[in-house]
Structure 1
Amino acid sequence: MGNTLLNQIFHDDQGNIVIAQPPNLPLIVGMVASLLRLILTTGRVNIALDLIAFGSLFTWAWQELFQGVNYFRRALGLVVLTALMAGKLL
């Protein structure tokens, strides 16, 4: 397999196409905390869940950005990281 840009975008170092992967721990924690925030909408528990969700998703996006298996996954990390930061600023 050639080392073209298209191959580097969607293939990992073993030549497999990688677009989606099983979720890792930070992503699972972030999703669960985000869903619980929708149920528990007031009080300190909601604030704690917001912090946990943000921290976990930030960690996942940071890991994807710098340790993603291909350029698509790294771009996904950058998009999520940007969205998280924009959401906190707005």
Structure 2
Amino acid sequence: MEEKSTTFTATHGVMTTEVGVISGDLELRTICDDNGILSLTITYVGAEEWYTLPGKEYRLHDLRDHEVVHRMLATVLERP
């Protein structure tokens, strides 16, 4: 299992399953298990409660793509 984390500022907000849209200084965490299943969660920087990003099961066909997918997602979520 591999975990990646990135902090960024979301000026337009990010949709979550639990509480709707959140914005401001956020931290994205992606976890990829040995079967390629991705867990996508987000929180306010410094907060303890994590929220999930909407969608069904996310799966990588190649575990080496985790870094690229994580960076791409963080970049898209941060864009104005």
Give the alignment's TM-score, normalised by structure 1: 0.28
Higher helix share: 1
Higher strand share: 2
Give the alignment's TM-score, normalised by structure 2: 0.30
